[in-house]
Chain A
């Protein structure tokens, strides 16, 4: 549906976006995930037409929309602060886009009732937007961007200004509503949990570049770069000292991984306490941290070589959980030793 080709954008000679390429099929929810300042909002604004890229193209169904002004692109954009019009009530806000598109009044009212029902605000037509709660304002903003049935819906940190509890509940609801509306969507967030919960695919961004695109599962299990790995909180990253014929050498030991990675990730899901086959993929060290979090323990191990590894152990292991100060040997699942490029 949407294709972004080689987008470059500069702000006062500083590169903001560099060579962005994206393809989003019809009906997909793609999430742009990255820290603040990584360029994800700028990319959204370029796609919306609020910003002109310095190079590259934005295509909808194969046709460039760069020359189409903002108001004619038929996109929806939901802002982080919602940007509701304070001089209009809920009705006026939601039907604004319909009016601009010349939809007759009775059709506007029909659509208004439809989207209000979709976001669960039936009966709110005459409410003053300044009197609404944060969650209600968020729904009005969503309804407003959905009302003109946009070809593409973009959401810029739509839950950013809400508190954590509300956020967790709303993100699932948001996915349901977007999927019900059947609209192609781009969702921008800095929150990994939010991204995984809402997205069909996630694009991790850093410093104006897309680092990796994939389903949440792929991104989490197989981060491609040191940056993505650390961004997701997977910190058992060991620099590669040398490599030969599919074997890489690190401070901890040698691992069989393909290619010439800059580092390897010992995925925390790949650790086990079981003393199965002793041998090539076991590491030993001292437990320096033990944090109980209900279903599992998080352990931190400092190896004799000085490296620090963290991993989780199921709480079902009961009394066998080592204490701080214990020496421990753990086994590493070779399938969860992930090669990382240096980015």
Chain B
């Protein structure tokens, strides 16, 4: 029996074309570029040539890149988990004022575009940052005393900033659902102090800690914008190297080979993460753990230390960004940098005034949202039919673009879509198309649970009451999935606004997006360029924050599978 016989599906059944649209889209804009990468690395000149791969193995430079990528990801993961574990402990264990607000705010960095984060840290501890300019004027120094830019340290700090909340949420969520009796049982049996951590808490948290580690490792292994902007020429992750080889050195075979390595590593990591994630959701013994106000002085101290770390780590850079966007020069507080955004100076490398980047981004984000909603909705309907044998395979297939890194996507786009049969090189549509690939999985994940939650009997009842298939969709399905659609649309919009890696590849010189414009401005000397970069970053931060708050609001109503 066809239990999910929704009206739209019947419509789709009538027109196979509609059903195929997301698949065709995925084929043309995801798999075709991936195959092109394979082609450019393996058969660069029309015949099989493994030269690029042998170069990867023989050249110590590429080996070092791979080693650095792995080592920095490992260090970032260790640091993040090391900080998030005690944070999770106080969040699970204690009740204190402002807790839920802080938890929500702590997630903000994760949704911020990399360029905004890079700009924030530059504004805090960069050579032109708040800390250095403050110290310089205080002690009449000529050179910035804090030299963190272009060091491994700043890369690690930013990676912790980015991923702290991810690890905190994952671990504390798992912890809070864990049966508190187990810990009490251990205490009654004589465990206390470090033995309680070692024998009970850590082993019980193992699945969550491993899953969080895998996730942080994935994010930092593919780190692009942070390393590109803050790392300087000395540091390159695989992502950065792909970008440099492809655009700076025009060494496409090596870029392709690197991208291939990256794709393989990512797929393995994603498979590992999916495994770990499943374990988390299955072995939860649902229990309610009540957080209590701290009673001892030690508890209050633990809370104080953790909150201080959190606030300094997470909010000082954002605060610095806002302050410096008004004070980038030496002239004190000014709105100049915001006003200059509309002016096209002659020496500008953007060819257009920065404000143009804002309208570009808005237009691209609007197109992305529409495309992602349309394709995502059809995909969700397709996937909601669990009884279709193919669905089991299609579901992970549609998630694949999330596993491919943005730089890989962008690189695939420029080598695959710039020549016949599909020449989109000059089309400004390339950007929203790339963004749609990244945004579509979010729409699917937001809509699918709502769709699956509609009991078929409800739709049948409407039909029996005389509603035509279209009206069933309009008056039953649509209202029930509207929240999911809103969440998906917001995701699509904010993802598009902040996307950097792919955009950097495919944006044409005269149609930069906000992140691309920020990147270009940050690379320029002069207070004006710097100030405008920060001003644009503030604007982008606000857009992301508003989108994030909106999603959080809707999500607390229990929408989404994340």
Contacts and interface: CB of A to CB of B under 8 A. Distances in A.
A30 to B, nearest CB: 18
A115 to B, nearest CB: 13
A148 B188 CA distance: 11
B188 A85 contact: no
A197 B195 CA distance: 39
B190 A97 contact: yes
B186 interface: yes
Contacts of A83: 179, 181-182, 184-185
A21 B53 CA distance: 80
B283 interface: yes
A245 interface: no
Interface stretch (A64-72, A162-170, A182-190, A219-227): A64-72
B425 to A, nearest CB: 56
Contacts of B199: 96, 99-100
B191 A96 contact: yes
Interface string B190-208: 1110010001100110100
Nearest to B200: A85
A309 B4 CA distance: 58
Interface in A218-263: none
Given A85-B204, A96-B199, A100-B195, A79 B181 contact: yes
Interface string B262-284: 00000000000000000000010
A76 B182 CA distance: 13
A77 interface: yes
A66 to B, nearest CB: 15
A88 B181 CA distance: 15
A312 B241 CA distance: 90
Contact of A86 (B187, B190, B191, B283): B283
B190 A87 contact: no
A83 B185 CA distance: 7
B229 to A, nearest CB: 42
Q: From DSSP, what is the main secondary structure of chain B's interface residues?
A: helix
Q: Size class of B's contact patch?
A: 20 to 34
A328 to B, nearest CB: 52
Interface string A75-93: 1110101011111100000
Contacts of B186: 85, 96, 100
B189 interface: yes
Interface in A110-146: 144-145
A71 B188 contact: yes
B189 A148 contact: yes
Contact of B204 (A79, A81, A86, A148): A86
Given A83-B182, A83-B184, A96 B189 contact: yes
Contacts of B188: 48-50, 70-71, 73, 75-77, 145
B199 to A, nearest CB: 7
Interface in B456-474: none
Central interface residue in A72, A75, A97, A145, by most chain B CB within 10 Å = A97
Query: Which of B189, B190, B204, B283 has the most C-beta atoms of chain A within 10 angstroms of its own C-beta?
Result: B189
A81 B180 CA distance: 11
Interface string B287-304: 100000000000000000
A48 B184 CA distance: 10
A175 to B, nearest CB: 22
A85 B192 contact: no
B190 A71 contact: yes
B189 A79 contact: no
A13 B285 CA distance: 30
Nearest to B184: A50
A101 B181 contact: no
Given A77-B184, A85-B182, A96-B199, A144 B189 contact: yes
Contacts of B204: 85-87
B184 to A, nearest CB: 5
A50 B204 CA distance: 20
A79 B206 CA distance: 23
Interface size class of A (residues with CB under 8 A): 20 to 34
B190 A100 contact: yes
Contacts of A81: 179, 181, 285, 287
A50 B290 CA distance: 14
A85 B187 CA distance: 12
Contacts of B206: 87
Contacts of A73: 188
Contacts of A100: 186, 189-191, 195, 199
B95 to A, nearest CB: 11
Contacts of B187: 50, 70-71
Interface in B123-149: none
A72 B195 CA distance: 14
A155 B255 CA distance: 66
Nearest to B188: A77
B402 to A, nearest CB: 31
A81 B286 CA distance: 11
A299 to B, nearest CB: 46
Nearest to A88: B203
A72 B190 CA distance: 6
Interface in B234-276: none
A101 B185 contact: no
A148 B190 contact: yes
B189 A97 contact: yes
Contacts of A75: 188
A71 B192 contact: yes
Contacts of A71: 187-192
Contacts of B179: 81, 83
Contacts of B185: 77, 79, 83, 85, 144
Given A50-B184, A79-B185, A101 B190 contact: yes
Contacts of B203: 85, 87-88
A100 B283 CA distance: 26
Interface string A20-59: 0000000000000000000000000000111000000000
Interface in A144-175: 144-145, 148
Nearest to B204: A87
Contacts of B287: 81
A145 B182 CA distance: 13
Contacts of A76: 188-189
A63 to B, nearest CB: 19
Nearest to B293: A12
Which of B185, B200, B283 lies at the interface centre, i.e. has the most chain A CB atoms within 10 A of its CB?
B185
A84 B183 CA distance: 10
B71 to A, nearest CB: 30
B297 to A, nearest CB: 15
Nearest to B202: A87
Contacts of B182: 83-85
A58 B366 CA distance: 68
Contacts of A48: 184, 188
A91 B512 CA distance: 64
Contact of B192 (A50, A69, A79): A69
Nearest to B187: A70
Nearest to A150: B188
Pick from B190, B192, B204 the residue with the most CB of A within 10 Å: B190
30 contacts: A48-B188, A49-B188, A71-B188, A71-B190, A72-B190, A72-B192, A73-B188, A76-B189, A77-B188, A79-B181, A81-B179, A81-B181, A83-B179, A83-B181, A85-B182, A85-B186, A85-B203, A86-B283, A87-B206, A96-B186, A96-B189, A97-B190, A99-B199, A100-B189, A100-B190, A100-B195, A101-B190, A144-B185, A144-B189, A145-B188
Interface of B: 179, 181-182, 184-192, 195, 199-200, 203-204, 206, 283, 285, 287
Interface of A: 48-50, 69-73, 75-77, 79, 81, 83-88, 96-97, 99-101, 144-145, 148
Given A72-B192, A81-B181, A85-B186, 13 more contacts: A50-B188, A70-B184, A71-B187, A75-B188, A84-B182, A85-B204, A87-B204, A96-B189, A100-B186, A100-B191, A101-B190, A145-B188, A148-B190
> Lowest 6 CB-CB distances: which A-B pairs, in order?
A100-B190, A97-B189, A83-B181, A71-B192, A83-B185, A70-B187
